[in-house]
Structure 1
Amino acid sequence: MPQSLLQRRVGVFALATLCCALWGSSFPAIKIGFARLHIAAADLFGQMLFAGWRFALAGLVLLVWATILKKSVLRLTARQWRQVILLGLTQTTLQYVFFYVGLAHAEGSKSSILNATSVFFSVILAHFLYADDRLGGRKALGCLIGFLGVVVVNLGAANGMGLHFTLLGEGFIVIAAFVISAASIYGKGVSQGLDPVVMTGWQLFLGGLGLTAIGMTGGGHVQTLDPVSGLLLVYLALLSAVAFSVWSLLLRHNPVGLIAPFNFLIPVFGVSLSGLFLGESILRPANLAALILVCGGIWLVTRPPRRPAAERLAP
């Protein structure tokens, strides 16, 4: 592999890993935030309000940063305004309606693994949208093995062998994974004609306003922030600003099939950090088996095809 290409791959790996580490840390941070602010699992509109504050703040941070960098923040065409509004309502509002409700009804460690199904949704969608990213037998097998991991993580419920799956918990996490996959691919197209930082800033800000409106309309209430919950809110906003903007930049310059599989690192960080901060068990056989299966699926999806022997031996 040429040195320049190797350096680029290392850079992509480092940035994608950073994004996944930040997203993985959001699982325990959100759960702790809910507990500190006394937002119950059934308090849907309180969750939406908390999410709205987070993403509106994240978008505002990015828009201010883009202004400092002298980027055109307000001079968007009518088509670009429609695009960022649609992106905000899907990638932020709709996705996090499902994500926050699901996370409130499922363990952080399990949610982080289920969220990795976004990789397989991305691979399947890319097959139909990009001629150079087709779903062959190897990728199909990888997707099947990955989804088997989703099934396995739900084994070992209270009865020891049952399939523990609820629509409001695990179901909503999987739906959120599909929404983020579809919206990310749409965002890749939007970023070709709009600066990724500006695009991400507006989609987070507008999506955050949408979540805030849902929370306020439903009578959501969040207690006054204390120092810990306030710092958590700021951290969640900053991680969203950094991770989403860097991820959009990576998708703009790289194939979906190369970037999407890095999402496997999210459950690795999510499970580890949930165990560290939430006291959840990370050594249960179901969790470990699911991680192994998802890892195997990712490896099959991303492994480059072997070159013919004659080509490998050619000078």
Structure 2
Amino acid sequence: MICGCVPRTENKMGRASVFENRKWVPLFAGSAALSWACAFPLIKLGLADFGIAGTDTGGKALFAGARFLLAGLVVLAVAKLCGRSFAVPRGKTRWQLVLFGLVNTALHYFFFYLGVSNSPGGRASILDSLGTFLLILAAAVVFREKLTLRSIFGCLLGFSGIVLINLGSTAGQFTLSGDGMLLCSSVCAMVGGLLTRVVTRKMDPLVATGHSLALGGALLIPAGLLMGAHPVGVHLKGLLILAALVAVSAVGFSFYNQLLRYHPVGQIAIYNAFIPVLGVVLSCLLLGEPFSWRYLLSGALVTVGICAVNLPGKGKN
């Protein structure tokens, strides 16, 4: 299903991507959000099993690098099995692909892990989610996507839902090492989203995703070592958790990036508002963290926000 190719009857094009079909967008975008949300509890479990301390930022970067490098190789292997074209157009497209991996994976998650290590959890979730809404605004400017009052209202509802799940956990002063790094992460997420649209329209989106993840992971590994990553203990449980993280990363990025090729960025990016909401719910289920009624209300706000952004205008099907 990651390949997303199905036959199109009586069509000169021969084959078409299932990701082009608008009716499948909620399924694939929701699956991508769920995949990334699964990463929250899995990362906590993985760091604990490998013995990576909360202050060991180098160890976290090394762990993330292994995750994304392996995920990229898995995606490339799937693309090869599916018969996807590995051709990369000459010229600036190759540099855009390198920049895609550098910004969307390496820098994005480098700043993310630095920020999370030095910022309260609730505020970290809010600041990290800014990338979604910055991307929607940037797409309106760069790609001339229409930004209506209804879509703005939908974004506000989605952001309100994220703030709601973090009420009472955002205390503390602004810090450059924490909040500043998370803002840099959000900017990288925004730029990465724009690059996704550009690169996946010039080459196969699955192949571009694999290259981006593998390159970003390969850059994070030496960065983690240079930052003084401490030796870790390797156990079967930890390897299984890492394998699960590789799987959710491969699925999440593959689905999301292929959707961005065919649909307006704003209509896809808004689904990312589900990530922190689903993340706390999954943490309750998998880690035994306390559940709150706010999570249900938050999910409802995000759902209404997504509907507001994606509902067709008058006269459209």
**Normalization by structure 2: what TM-score?**
0.81
Q: Distance in 2 between matches of 1:174 and 1:146?
A: 18
Q: Deviations over 1:97-143 (max 9, x none)?
A: 12223444567787556544333222211110223x22233333333
Shift of 1:289: 5.7
Partner residue, 1:63: 76
Q: Deviations over 1:244-277 (max 9, x none)?
A: 1221111111111221122233233212111112
Mean CA deviation greater in 94-103 or 187-196: 94-103
SS in 2 for 1:42: coil
Q: Deviations over 1:4-50 (max 9, x none)?
A: x9x93332221112111111100000011111112112111111111
SS in 1 for 2:21: helix
1:139 aligns with 2:144: no
Kept in 2, the 8 Å contact 1:156–1:163? The answer is: yes
Q: Distance in 1 between matches of 2:245 and 2:194?
A: 23
Q: Distance in 2 between matches of 1:290 and 1:114?
A: 16
Partner residue, 2:110: 97
Kept in 1, the 8 Å contact 2:88–2:94? The answer is: no
1:276 aligns with 2:271: no
**% identity of equivalent residues:** 36
Q: Deviations over 1:149-170 (max 9, x none)?
A: 455554324xxxx745654556
1:214 aligns with 2:223: yes
Q: Which runs of 5+ in 1 are unaligned?
A: none
With over 3 angstroms needed to count, the CA separation of the structure-2 counterparts of 1:47 and 1:270, relative to structure 1, is: same
Q: Distance in 1 between matches of 2:297 and 2:179?
A: 17
Aligned with 2:310 (options 296, 302, 311): 302
Q: Deviations over 1:267-304 (max 9, x none)?
A: 3321211111222223065x566555544544433343
Matches within 5 A, 1:43-62: 43-62=56-75
Q: Distance in 1 between matches of 2:172 and 2:162?
A: 11
1:84 aligns with 2:97: yes
Aligned with 2:136 (options 89, 98, 123): 123
With over 3 angstroms needed to count, the CA separation of the structure-2 counterparts of 1:306 and 1:271, relative to structure 1, is: farther
Task: Give me the CA root mean square deviation.
Answer: 3.2
Kept in 1, the 8 Å contact 2:274–2:299? The answer is: no
Q: Distance in 2 between matches of 1:9 and 1:23?
A: 22
With over 3 angstroms needed to count, the CA separation of the structure-2 counterparts of 1:142 and 1:276, relative to structure 1, is: same
Q: Distance in 2 between matches of 1:110 and 1:134?
A: 30
1:259 aligns with 2:268: yes
Partner residue, 2:234: 225
Shift of 1:222: 4.2
With over 3 angstroms needed to count, the CA separation of the structure-2 counterparts of 1:35 and 1:201, relative to structure 1, is: same
Kept in 2, the 8 Å contact 1:109–1:267? The answer is: no
- Counterpart of 1:261, as a letter, is I
Partner residue, 2:31: 18
SS in 2 for 1:236: helix
Kept in 1, the 8 Å contact 2:88–2:203? The answer is: no
Q: Distance in 2 between matches of 1:101 and 1:187?
A: 24
Partner residue, 2:7: none
Shift of 1:213: 1.5
- Counterpart of 2:259, as a letter, is L
1:38 aligns with 2:51: yes
- Counterpart of 2:292, as a letter, is L
Q: Distance in 2 between matches of 1:109 and 1:29?
A: 18
With over 3 angstroms needed to count, the CA separation of the structure-2 counterparts of 1:290 and 1:68, relative to structure 1, is: closer
Partner residue, 1:243: 252
Partner residue, 2:214: 205
With over 3 angstroms needed to count, the CA separation of the structure-2 counterparts of 1:250 and 1:42, relative to structure 1, is: same
Kept in 2, the 8 Å contact 1:113–1:290? The answer is: no
Q: Distance in 1 between matches of 2:253 and 2:289?
A: 27
